[in-house]
């Protein structure tokens, strides 16, 4: 199936990705520190999960600020930060066509298969 | 697609309890309402640090000082969660700061009252944070995803604020005659302004209907206020103190407490800028912002310098 998928949006910020990695709306605020997305691993064995965002001048400051803003109560053992402008996101307007291929494949789920009760441990 | 269809689909999502996320289509008025509400909420957290910051250096013990510092730091964090949530709607952080510093944006009127004694730290925790929690718990289910997520985080932390406030008052209520009087005095001064925190009565709150239709708001001002009064009327008994309302009385029929008239003139005066501390609070904010400029600039310059060195290497 053909569809015109345009991956042209940042995560939750800015309208459209523009060449040069600049964020529209941010360009007028030269004095503003860039925005960072914060991901936190709450304990060993778990994935880093998006916690929120913050402004910081550089990555080191972003990590230190993330510690103060998002882990004041031992919520994390590890922090990732990435500048928001480097997050590429799918377009929610195109979600239907993007996720359509999985829509009609119920046979990918174990419950699709009807087995006799006699079969144990499966 | 026609705008009408988009609006209909948007409302269908809201009705079906599907959260709205930043890149989803939303009516302009929904976006504007949220920007106003979330940024005002953020400003309130930030300005809310000031009345309490007043007592950090004068807390009666090291324990109380540490607690107060943790609480004030939480308020800063809450402001930051909310500013980020507002930014997802397309307003920049600097724009919001500018609106606060120029007086264009409002913040909760409660923070324009002074903190005269140590007991005020207790009364703020119990009543002001208590009222805030009452407002905020339903906001955890608000229709805009980033706002709801910020509120979940905030509510988890806010409970400590209220409990430490009540405990502060509890200690005073079991103390000397002077401490008891101080406790009662703080309750007397903070009670009515706390009730005003829920906003004007429903009949005079024109935005409520639309906000409830969009599920930004889940309960009306009057509903929340009544719940808060019912709760406090019982809790104050544990303190052995009273609430400064001669009309406060249990109504068996309504299954709620009746209460006396609220002085809405005072509310509107404080809102207009004529409260006891409006000027002081905004001056403190502006001073902090202006005097912090060199720090922001230096950090920026340092980051650029390091980036340049990294590129060369």
A31 inside 8 A of chain B by CB = yes
For residue range B26-85, list pLDDT tens digits in order.
Answer: 999 999 999 999 999 999 999 999 999 999 999 999 999 999 999 999 999 999 999 999
In angstroms and rounded to an integer, the radius of gyration of the C-alpha atoms of chain A is 21
Q: Which of A11-15, A35-39, A103-107, B136-140 has the lowest mean pLDDT?
A: A11-15
pLDDT at position A13, please? Answer: 66
pLDDT over 70 (residue A1) = no
A4 inside 8 A of chain B by CB = no
CA distance B270 to B181: 27
Quick one: tokens of A113? 């298969």
Contacts of B73 in chain A (CB under 8 A): 68, 72
In eight-state DSSP terms, residue A5 is: -
Place of tokens 């009543």: B127
Quick one: tokens of B204? 């005079």
What are the structural domains of chain A?
A: 25-87+95-112 (3.10.20.520)
Q: Which of A19-28, B95-104, B154-163 has the lowest mean pLDDT?
A: A19-28
Contacts of B88 in chain A (CB under 8 A): 12-13
For residue range A87-122, list pLDDT tens digits in order.
Answer: 998 888 888 899 998 888 999 999 999 999 999 998
A82 inside 8 A of chain B by CB = no
Q: What is the mean pLDDT of residues A19-40?
A: 67
pLDDT over 50 (residue B292) = yes
Q: Which of A3-7, B88-92, B150-154, B226-230 has the lowest mean pLDDT?
A: A3-7
B42-80 burial: b if 16+ Cβ within 10 Å, else e: bbbbbbbbbbbebbbeebeeeebeebbeebbebbebbbb
Give the global pTM. 0.89
pLDDT at position B234, please? Answer: 97
Q: What is the ipTM metric for this complex?
A: 0.88
pLDDT at position B313, please? Answer: 76
Which candidate, A21, A50, A88, places its Cα nearest to that of B81? Answer: A50
In eight-state DSSP terms, residue B25 is: -
Beta-bridge mates of residue A81: A38
Using alpha carbons, list the distances in angstroms from residue A83 to A55, A88, B23: 9, 11, 18
Q: Name the residue in chain A with its Cα closest to that of B153.
A: A70
Judged by CB atoms closer than 8 Å, whether chains meet at A26 and B300 is answered as: no
CA distance B81 to B44: 13
Computed over every residue of chain B, the mean pLDDT equals: 95
Contact B56, B69 (CB under 8 A): yes
Q: What is the mean pLDDT of residues B101-126?
A: 96
Judged by CB atoms closer than 8 Å, whether chains meet at B80 and A15 is answered as: no
How far is the alpha carbon of B90 from chain A, nearest alpha carbon, in Å? Answer: 7
* Dihedral (CA of B299, B305, B308, B310) sign: negative
A7 inside 8 A of chain B by CB = no
Contacts of B157 in chain A (CB under 8 A): 72-73
For residue range B236-289, list pLDDT tens digits in order.
Answer: 999 999 999 999 999 999 999 999 999 999 999 999 999 999 999 999 999 999
Contact B152, B28 (CB under 8 A): no
Q: Which of A53, A59, A65, A96 to mutate to test the interface with B (most CBs of B within 10 A)?
A: A53
Q: At what angle do helices B129-139 and B177-196 cross, to 10 degrees?
A: 40
Vertex B138: Cα angle to B128 and B277 (nearest 5): 25
In percent, how much of chain B has pLDDT > 90? 92
pLDDT at position B227, please? Answer: 97
- Using 50, 70 and 90 to split pLDDT, how confident is the model at A24? very low
Which candidate, A101, A50, A40, places its Cα nearest to that of A74? Answer: A40
- Using 50, 70 and 90 to split pLDDT, how confident is the model at B3? low
A22 inside 8 A of chain B by CB = no
Higher pLDDT, residue A60 or A4? A60
């Amino acid at each position: 199936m053909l569809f015109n998928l345009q991956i042209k949006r940042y995560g939750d910020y800015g309208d459209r990705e523009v060449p040069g990695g600049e964020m529209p709306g941010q360009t007028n605020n030269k004095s503003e520190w860039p925005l960072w997305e914060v991901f936190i691993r709450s304990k060993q064995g778990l994935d880093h999960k998006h916690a929120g965002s913050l402004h910081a001048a550089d990555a080191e400051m972003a990590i230190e600020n993330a510690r103060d803003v998002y882990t004041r109560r031992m919520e994390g053992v590890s922090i990732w930060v990435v500048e928001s402008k480097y997050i590429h996101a799918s377009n929610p307007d195109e979600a239907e066509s993007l996720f359509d291929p999985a829509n009609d494949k119920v046979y990918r789920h174990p419950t699709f298969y009807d087995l006799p009760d006699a079969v144990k441990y499966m | 697609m026609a705008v009408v269809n988009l609006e209909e689909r948007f409302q269908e999502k809201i009705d079906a309890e599907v959260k709205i996320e930043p890149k989803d289509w939303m009516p302009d008025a929904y976006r504007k309402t949220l920007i106003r509400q979330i940024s005002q909420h953020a400003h309130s957290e930030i300005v809310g640090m000031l009345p309490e910051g007043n007592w950090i250096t004068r807390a009666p013990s090291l324990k109380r000082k540490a607690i107060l510092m943790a609480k004030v730091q939480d308020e800063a964090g809450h402001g930051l969660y909310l500013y980020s949530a507002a930014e997802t709607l397309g307003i920049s952080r600097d724009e919001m700061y500018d609106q606060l510093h120029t007086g264009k944006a409002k913040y909760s009127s409660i923070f324009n009252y002074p903190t005269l004694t140590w007991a005020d730290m207790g009364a703020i925790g119990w009543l002001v944070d208590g009222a805030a929690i009452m407002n905020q718990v339903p906001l955890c289910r608000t229709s805009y995803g980033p706002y709801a997520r910020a509120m979940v985080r905030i509510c988890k932390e806010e409970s400590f604020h209220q409990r430490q406030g009540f405990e502060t008052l509890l200690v005073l209520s079991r103390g000397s005659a002077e401490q008891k009087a101080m406790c009662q005095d703080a309750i007397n001064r903070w009670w009515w302004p706390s009730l005003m925190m829920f906003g004007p009565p429903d009949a005079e709150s024109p935005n409520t209907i639309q906000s409830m239709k969009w599920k930004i708001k889940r309960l009306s001002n009057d509903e929340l206020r009544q719940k808060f009064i019912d709760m406090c009327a019982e809790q104050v008994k544990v303190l052995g103190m009273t609430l400064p309302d001669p009309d406060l009385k249990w109504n068996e029929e309504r299954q709620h407490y009746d209460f006396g008239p609220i002085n809405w003139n005072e509310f509107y005066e404080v809102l207009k800028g004529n409260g006891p501390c409006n000027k002081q609070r905004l001056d403190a904010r502006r001073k902090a912002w202006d005097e912090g400029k060199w720090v922001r600039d230096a950090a920026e310059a340092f980051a650029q310098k390091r980036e340049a060195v990294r590129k060369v290497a």
